[in-house]
Amino acid sequence: MAHVGLFGPATVTWQLHGDPTMWIAGIRSLFLQALHPRAVAAVVQNSRFQEDPIGRLRRTSDFVGVATYGTSDAARAAAERVRHVHRTLRAHDPRTGERIRLDDPDLLLWVHCAEVASFAEVVRRAGFPLSDARHDRYFQEQRRSAELVGLDPGRVPGSREEMADYFLRVRPELARTRDSDVVFGFLHHPFTAKVLLPLNLGYLPIGNLAYSLLPDWARDLHGGRALPAPVATAGARAFRAFGRSVPDQVRYRFPSGHELAAVERLGEGVFPSVRALPEL
């Protein structure tokens, strides 16, 4: 049904995307995305993220929110806006000078996989009950999101095994670059305006935690210092515990309120909850 949306309360996606650890997972995905030289060049050359850090992070979370909890029409309209931007913008590869199309399927696939793998892996590590079967189902469901932005669902990993194979294939293309260093610095200290500098003190542990939750090979490419693995896991679990202690009506109001809009549309019983995960 169109008013339920692309996923609906009976999916893993609906419940997982409502977990508070998605905040950290989203930042982790940006660290990972930055390791693809052409993808990160396109971002650095076309985005104002350094001048508008809050707006950049909010726009990303807003698209995920409307795709997950909005109506089918709202999700497709949001996706068409994204696809229009991808069709019209261009960048150049600083290593070769070649032109980069932002709607290149290989780049779209990289962004998709870096994003959904981060969502699933971080939330699971934080204590969300994502069994292997649910993990596979989540990747299968996320083919719908990939199709929204113009990908052929048949090319998109639909299981943990397929996702692992994808990262093995793409890793030879990944590298630390001048552009990845720009994103690395931004994600650790995003607030440069003097009036916002105090926010860096509060954000710094979150940025460092998100970076520390990357796979070993990704941290090795970036080259930055990370928290020990047990500390990072404990930090993710503590963040999740704190987030879950906040009442639903408050927690889901930010950053975009799409979950609350879905509840108003479909009823109180659709609040994201681990108790509503499908039995697999």
pLDDT tens digit string along 220-229? Answer: 999 999 999 9
Bridge partner residues of 90 (DSSP): 101
Residue 135 pLDDT level (bands cut at 50, 70, 90): very high
pLDDT of 164 over the 50 cut: yes
Residue 101: strand, helix, or coil: strand
Summarize the confidence of residues 239-252 as an average pLDDT.
91
Q: Which of the listed ranges 61-70, 85-94, 102-111, 160-169 does the model predict with the highest average pLDDT?
A: 160-169
Residue 198 pLDDT level (bands cut at 50, 70, 90): low
State pLDDT tens for residues 144-156.
Answer: 999 999 999 999 9
Residue 87 pLDDT level (bands cut at 50, 70, 90): confident
Residue 33 and residue 76: Cα distance in Å, rounded? Answer: 24
Spans of all domains in the chain: 12-276
Q: What are phi and psi of 7, to 5 degrees?
A: -115, -70
Long-range CB contacts (within 8 A, 24+) of 57-60: 57/26, 57/27, 57/190, 57/255, 58/255, 58/256, 60/26, 60/30
pLDDT value, residue 195 = 45
Tell me the CA distances in angstroms from 210 to 187, 199, 261, 273, one per residue in order.
Answer: 9, 17, 28, 23
pTM of the model: 0.93
